Amino acid sequence: MKKYFVLMIALVPFSLPSFAQSDDQESLPSFAQSDSRQSIPLNAEERIVILTEMRGLLAGLQEITAALAANEMAEVARVAKSLGMQMVQIVPLSIRQKLPRGFKQLGFAVHQDFDLMALDAQNLGESQQTLVQLGDTLAKCVACHAAYQITVK
Ligand code: HEC
């Protein structure tokens, strides 16, 4: 109980402003003033393709996490495989050509990670190993999100 109380107190500073203030510009946190992530200019439809893939990654992570919790390693392998290099094919070449090299490298690395995760989950069946791999892969999601944004031209 005490733990939950501390957590609630910790969350108060983040939740209060949204109740206390409306859309007053000056109430925005300082990081809202600048966004130094590199822009990737795409058209509206191309952006939808990329963001749909992203939501697919998040949905897959949810399924992998749930399967890990239930120790269903065959399911972990199945979902991880679907997030592997086969997912790259969904993105047409015309879009891939517009993506910066660093973006593609990180993107490929993530999909290759999922292929390896699938193989290991299938062959070793050790959830702890998958968790370590997930941590490494999520670091790449974080790194790419810190570096790039999509802007519609
Ligand atoms: C190669 C770069 C890259 C990698 C790797 C990457 N993302 Fe993204 N992701 C982006 C960019 C760029 C955006 C759009 C951000 C923006 O325009 O502000 C995005 C947006 C998203 C969104 C928002 C989708 C929407 O509908 O708005 C989700 C969710 C997401 N990513 C999940 C993930 C997850 C989970 C992973 C890792 C498994 C991941 N991404 C890996 C670049 C990447």
Question: Is residue 36 very low, low, confident or very high in pLDDT (cuts 50, 70, 90)?
Answer: very high
CA of 14 to the centre of ligand 1 (A): 23
- Find out whether the beta carbon of 54 lies less than 6 Å from any atom of ligand 1: yes
Per-residue confidence (pLDDT) for residue 31, from 0 to 100:
87
Question: Is residue 63 very low, low, confident or very high in pLDDT (cuts 50, 70, 90)?
Answer: very high
Mean pLDDT of all residues in 17-44? 79
| Other beta carbons less than 10 A from residue 93's beta carbon | 7
CA of 84 to the centre of ligand 1 (A): 15
**103 lies in some domain:** yes
CA of 90 to the centre of ligand 1 (A): 15
**110 lies in some domain:** yes
- Find out whether the beta carbon of 144 lies less than 6 Å from any atom of ligand 1: yes
Q: What residues are paired with 152 via a beta bridge?
A: 42
Portion of the chain with pLDDT greater than 70, in percent: 83
**118 lies in some domain:** yes
pLDDT, one tens digit per residue, over 88-105 is 988 999 999 999 999 999
Q: Which domain holds residue 106?
A: 37-152
**70 lies in some domain:** yes
> Residue 111 pLDDT more than 70?
yes
**16 lies in some domain:** no
Per-residue confidence (pLDDT) for residue 77, from 0 to 100:
98
pLDDT, one tens digit per residue, over 119-131 is 999 999 999 999 9
**135 lies in some domain:** yes
Q: The pTM is what? A: 0.86
Element (H, E) at 59: helix 44-69
Per-residue confidence (pLDDT) for residue 8, from 0 to 100:
47
Alpha-carbon gap, residue 135 to 68, rounded angstroms:
13
- As a whole number, the mean pLDDT across the chain is 88
**Number of structural domains, the chain?**
1
- Find out whether the beta carbon of 27 lies less than 6 Å from any atom of ligand 1: no
Of 118, 88, 117, the C-alpha closest to 105 is 88
**25 lies in some domain:** no
CATH of the domain at 99: 1.20.120.10
CA of 99 to the centre of ligand 1 (A): 13
- Find out whether the beta carbon of 61 lies less than 6 Å from any atom of ligand 1: yes
